[in-house]
Homo-oligomer: A and B are copies of this chain.
């Protein structure tokens, strides 16, 4: 890839606006359903993305640059948002995420150049990883969780689609991940 950092930050910069376009002002009748029966509602997903901005991606980038593999990454708290965000509205969470993301991309631009991408850090479970892998994962992690938002929205209309459910993989997979639409 000719411009790995540029292409990666191009995607990362879009996520807040994609989520705003989809969710700000959308009626609660759409946004109150988790992606799977024990999964996350859109507000939980945005909270999880906020945690990543606060304590994961930039923190790990800095640790690679400062300590290499000698200081293992802290573990990612996957449920930090549940209590922390209990009183915030979805619109407030989206603004918080957008602000943190913009700040982190600005800091990333100051910290990292192409020459750093092969530098290594130590993941607590995966072992040695490169900065390039960390940044690619930041972007794909966004895509994974925004797709989860779409599954939650779809789930809120599970009953309303009637017999068409048989054709809608996004609904079938909420109950059976290996389901194939007919």
Asked if A93 CB lies within 8 Å of chain B CBs, one says no
Flag the segment in A7-15, A44-52, A81-89, A100-108 that touches B: A7-15
In the bound assembly, the distance between CA atoms of A163 and B9 in angstroms comes to 21
Assess the A168–B140 pair: CB atoms within 8 A: yes
Assess the B26–A123 pair: CB atoms within 8 A: no
In the bound assembly, the distance between CA atoms of A130 and B129 in angstroms comes to 53
Q: How many copies does the complex hold?
A: 2
In the complex, what residues of B have CB within 8 A of residue A144's CB? Answer: 150, 154, 168-171
In the complex, what residues of B have CB within 8 A of residue A127's CB? Answer: 163
Assess the A137–B164 pair: CB atoms within 8 A: yes
**A18 to B: closest C-beta gap in Å:** 5
Asked if A27 CB lies within 8 Å of chain B CBs, one says yes
Assess the A126–B17 pair: CB atoms within 8 A: no
Asked if A37 CB lies within 8 Å of chain B CBs, one says no
Asked if A178 CB lies within 8 Å of chain B CBs, one says yes
A interface residues with partner B (beta carbon < 8 Å): 1, 3-4, 6-7, 10-11, 14, 17-18, 21-22, 25-27, 29-30, 123, 126-127, 129-130, 132-134, 136-137, 139-141, 143-144, 146-147, 150-151, 153-154, 157, 160-164, 166, 168-171, 173, 177-180
Complex A-B, nearest 9 residue pairs according to Cβ-Cβ distance, in ascending order = A136-B160, A133-B162, A178-B178, A144-B170, A147-B150, A137-B164, A126-B163, A143-B154, A17-B21
